[in-house]
Amino acid sequence: MKKLALTLLLSFIYVISTYGAQITVDNNINAPNGVFTTLVSAVNVASPGDTILIKGSPTAYADTYVYKKLHFIGDGYLPNKENPHPTTINYLYLNNTLAGNASGSTVEGIKTFGAITLNNDLNTPLDSITVRRCQTNITFSGIGNAIFQNLVFYNNWELSLSGNSTYIFNNIILSNNLLGIISLVDNPLSSFLISNNLITNTSPNNNPDNCVYSNNIWYYTLANLSADYNSYYNNISISGNTGQTVFNTTGTNSGAFNQENVDPLFESETNQTIELQDDLNLSANSPGKNAGSDGTDIGIYGGAYPWPEGGASGSGYMYSQEADIPQVNQMQLQNAIVPQNGTLNVNVIGITNH
């Protein structure tokens, strides 16, 4: 994390300006004048391409339905700052219906009590959705052979996905996430690229077909993935059961360079349960060190979207995420007493969040 001066504000404005108009939502009791206090009202007045900044709060924002391209940026699911309230939404629905199409939307720095639901009630695709740095479940809903394509999910904590067997998923990218259950019994026309994730649970009877798994770590998960036409390359698994097999490379499946029942040797993890206090960097003698198909580490610190740490090892904030924009996280008064017409000196400290 890099310390910034007051130029932080200019950088912040520049980043947001690339996403159309900026709308702020704040449901805190001390919210300033001129902001929206409900997410629903902000979404209703926003134009396609606008950015909605959602302030962290002890009160969750209500269910919100989106029918246009919007960019949602929250304060994170566990922000490392003074007054560290997460941005929490109950359910966020991104829709493609007769009422409108949310294709092209992005969601970042959000925690959900329920899920982010991608809903498609038409014969045209719900397309180009990105979800990153969130703590959420993803659910898919729609009619018949609803099409979901060009979806990207990365740097998410405790991400799970579920959907119907009739849906078609084209070019779905899951990268550098802490993954829970992937329960997608998909249409044979689907395609997934699943790379550099830490997979902590699988549903052995509901795994998608037509996947390329590369550079992932399966960590004490259910074994024997039951899926077809999958490829497994440069993955590591550890289950604690010598007889279990995760990487089924027989029949219609294929693969190579996988390591079964091998400890990935994290820097710090002791109870076989991934927690925020752990350090999931690979140790120097890890079998996954620089062993990915691209020459980087296997797991969340390698690949296209290396995990951005939110705090020091063991602090509990190492895997906290805030949005990938500069943010102020501390303000310190330098002179507590100011004479009339004097100057109040304030030291503003922020982070880049890259």
Cβ 221 vs Cβ 201: under 8 Å: yes
pLDDT at 319 over 60: yes
Name which residue leads in pLDDT, 64 or 317.
64
Which pLDDT score is estimated for 105?
A: 98
Which pLDDT score is estimated for 347?
A: 64
Q: Measured between alpha carbons, how far is 41 from 47 in angstroms, rounded to an integer?
A: 12
Q: What count of Cα atoms within 13 Å lies in the side-chain half-sphere of residue 269?
A: 18
Range list of H helices, the chain: 7-17, 39-45
Q: Say how many C-beta atoms besides its own lie within 10 A of residue 174's C-beta.
A: 25
What's the whole-number mean pLDDT along residues 75-96?
Answer: 90
| pLDDT tens for each residue of 87-139 | 999 999 999 999 999 999 999 999 999 999 999 999 999 999 999 999 999 99
Percent share of the chain, pLDDT over 90: 56
Helix (H) or strand (E) holding 262: none
| pLDDT tens for each residue of 215-252 | 999 988 765 566 788 899 999 998 766 666 778 888 89
Q: Measured between alpha carbons, how far is 80 from 108 in angstroms, rounded to an integer?
A: 16
Q: Measured between alpha carbons, how far is 250 from 239 in angstroms, rounded to an integer?
A: 20
Q: Measured between alpha carbons, how far is 150 from 287 in angstroms, rounded to an integer?
A: 32
| Average pLDDT, rounded, for the chain | 84
Which pLDDT score is estimated for 206?
A: 62
pLDDT at 294 over 70: yes
Q: What count of Cα atoms within 13 Å lies in the side-chain half-sphere of residue 341?
A: 0
pLDDT at 16 over 60: no
Q: Say how many C-beta atoms besides its own lie within 10 A of residue 220's C-beta.
A: 16
Name which residue leads in pLDDT, 187 or 119.
119
Q: Measured between alpha carbons, how far is 273 from 278 in angstroms, rounded to an integer?
A: 9
Q: Measured between alpha carbons, how far is 36 from 54 in angstroms, rounded to an integer?
A: 9
Which pLDDT score is estimated for 14?
A: 40
Which pLDDT score is estimated for 3?
A: 38
